[in-house]
């Protein structure tokens, strides 16, 4: 078992990574908790036992369950059960579950503790760590949310064996991002160590910039185009697949801005292809629609902001030249 820490002073919390980690849930519950609201989805084949009185609350599948209506339903159901601030929410699932349950926990009674038991690779290396919670609006991804750090995160790598191949690759889209943020040799590490390496980097970034005032923005590498493709809604893409395409787009954009060379672009393509992830825009993509969606991204403060590679590493960059944005999109069209 690998034990890591997200160092946030009196709000620090442990992250347990390894086979069978979910069986240590009782150990990481906040002291004195007597009841737990388990939040999950019907399709998730993972059972946990918090070791105290508990009730299960099921949300809808996929991104359809990640909205304000679900948050209201959870809060009303918890109120009817009598959940209070001395109790705890445990989210069991992937990013949809941890984002939604985490946000509901953040606003219910102005904040009740939450523990994330992440059941997907994408969730274990990214979504469950760092305290960013939120839900979608029809206008865009994660536009309503809150920073609400969990009391603990559990990444049981045993449960990843239950994932369909495409869902596993979905997580590898986020892992590909870490290859450009300073995690070397991910593909050569055993699974537990690869997950822990991603967690360790994210924990370090979150500890330095909890509320995304600066460096934490690098964790959105590849996400601007990825979120736009997801928001468009007409493409059969998972989050990690959109991020993978977004990584290639970010490299093509950085090339046209003179920040990196063609060899670095080729490296991006090689890493993404190595995970068997998409390199091109979906057929029928509308560049003008994507540019309009860029402006709705939550990083867009006073302009269209991208996270781009460059001589000083990955960093936020404001881009105003539409011709450059369109030319980089054109480089991602299927040949």
Q: Kindly list the catalytic residues.
A: 110, 132, 174, 202, 212, 216, 220, 223, 227, 239
Contact 227, 305 (CB under 8 A): no
Per the listing, tokens 């059960």 go with 81
The strand pairing partners of 35, in sequence order, are 53
The Cα 270–Cα 180 span in angstroms is 12
User: Using CB atoms within 10 A of its CB, is residue 306 exposed (0-12), middle (13-18) or buried (19+)?
Assistant: buried
The residue among 213, 248, 215, 205 whose CA lies nearest residue 229 is: 248
Question: Roughly how many angstroms between the first and final C-alpha of the chain, as a whole number?
Answer: 45
The Cα 233–Cα 225 span in angstroms is 13
CA angle (85 as vertex; 82, 87 as ends), nearest 5: 70
User: Using CB atoms within 10 A of its CB, is residue 74 exposed (0-12), middle (13-18) or buried (19+)?
Assistant: buried
Q: Provide the 10 A C-beta neighbour count for residue 167.
A: 16
Element housing 316 (H / E): strand 315-319
Give per-residue burial for 170-183: e unless 16+ CB within 10 Å, then b. Answer: bbbbbbbbbbbbeb
Contact 91, 70 (CB under 8 A): no
Element housing 17 (H / E): strand 13-18
């Amino acid at each position: 078992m690998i034990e890591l820490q997200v160092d946030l002073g009196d709000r620090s919390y442990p992250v347990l990574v390894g086979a069978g980690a979910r069986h240590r849930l009782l150990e990481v519950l906040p002291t004195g908790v007597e009841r737990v609201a388990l939040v999950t989805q019907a399709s998730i084949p993972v059972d946990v036992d918090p070791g105290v009185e508990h009730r299960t609350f099921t949300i809808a599948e996929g991104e359809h369950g990640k909205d304000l209506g679900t948050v209201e339903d959870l809060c009303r159901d918890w109120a009817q059960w009598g959940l209070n601030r001395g109790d705890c929410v445990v989210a069991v699932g992937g990013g949809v579950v941890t984002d939604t349950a985490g946000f509901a926990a953040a606003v219910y009674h102005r904040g009740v503790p939450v523990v994330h038991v992440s059941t997907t690779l994408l969730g274990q290396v990214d979504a469950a760590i760092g305290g960013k919670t939120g839900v979608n609006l029809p206008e865009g991804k994660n536009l309503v949310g809150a920073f609400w750090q969990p009391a603990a995160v559990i990444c049981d790598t045993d449960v990843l064996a239950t994932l369909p191949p495409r869902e596993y690759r979905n997580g590898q889209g986020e892992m590909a991002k870490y290859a450009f943020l300073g995690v070397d040799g991910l593909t050569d590490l055993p699974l537990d160590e690869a997950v822990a390496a991603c967690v360790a980097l994210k924990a370090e970034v979150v500890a330095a910039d909890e509320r995304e005032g600066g460096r934490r923005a690098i964790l959105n590498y590849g996400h601007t185009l990825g979120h736009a493709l997801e928001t468009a809604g007409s493409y059969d893409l998972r989050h990690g697949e959109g991020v993978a395409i977004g990584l290639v787009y970010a490299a093509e954009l950085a090339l046209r801005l003179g920040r990196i060379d063609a060899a670095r672009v080729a490296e991006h393509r090689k890493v993404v292809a190595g995970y068997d992830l998409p390199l091109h825009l979906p057929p029928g993509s509308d560049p003008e629609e994507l540019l309009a969606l860029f402006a709705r991204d939550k990083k867009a403060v006073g302009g269209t902001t991208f996270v781009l590679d460059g001589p000083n590493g990955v960093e936020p960059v404001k881009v105003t030249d539409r011709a450059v944005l369109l030319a980089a999109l054109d480089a991602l069209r299927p040949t």
